């Protein structure tokens, strides 16, 4: 199992509700693929950490309603996290092995 971070607004996965940005979840590779292809916005924890979110920011602006009041610098990082998700999902849709792609490539914006 690997740890992933939620970067969406609201999602129900395996009888659990994810409604705060940065919530952690543990999935097998197969579960992660199913969750992402089903619309669950999760990215690898390493990618989330590399973007540079702080615990204080997540506590203050984790809910989707609070994010509209977040500073521009945080909103920019949220956008980057969403880009990572879209890239991961697109790779899965193209049947590329996401597990072999270093997070740095995804963060660099490789499409």
Identify the domain containing residue 78 by its residue range. Answer: 2-107
Question: Looking at residues 23-28, what average pLDDT do you find?
Answer: 96
Predicted TM-score (pTM) of the model is: 0.80
CA distance 36 to 92: 8
Over residues 7-16, the pLDDT tens digits come to: 998 999 989 9
| DSSP per-residue string spanning 33-70 | HHHHHTT--EEEHHHHHHHT--HHHHHHH-BHHHHTTS
Q: How many structural domains are present in the chain?
A: 1
Residue 106: pLDDT band by 50, 70, 90 thresholds?
low
Over residues 67-92, the pLDDT tens digits come to: 778 889 999 999 999 999 999 999 88
């Amino acid at each position: 199992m690997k740890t992933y971070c939620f970067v969406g607004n609201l999602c129900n996965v395996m009888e659990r509700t994810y409604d705060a940005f940065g919530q952690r979840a543990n999935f097998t590779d197969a579960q992660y693929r199913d969750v992402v292809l089903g619309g669950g916005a999760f990215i690898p924890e390493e990618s989330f950490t590399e973007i540079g979110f702080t615990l204080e920011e997540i506590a203050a602006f984790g809910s989707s309603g609070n994010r509209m009041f977040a500073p521009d610098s945080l909103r920019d990082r949220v956008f980057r996290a969403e880009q990572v998700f879209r890239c991961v999902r697109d790779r899965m849709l193209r049947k590329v092995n996401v597990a072999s792609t270093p997070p740095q490539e995804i963060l660099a914006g490789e499409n």
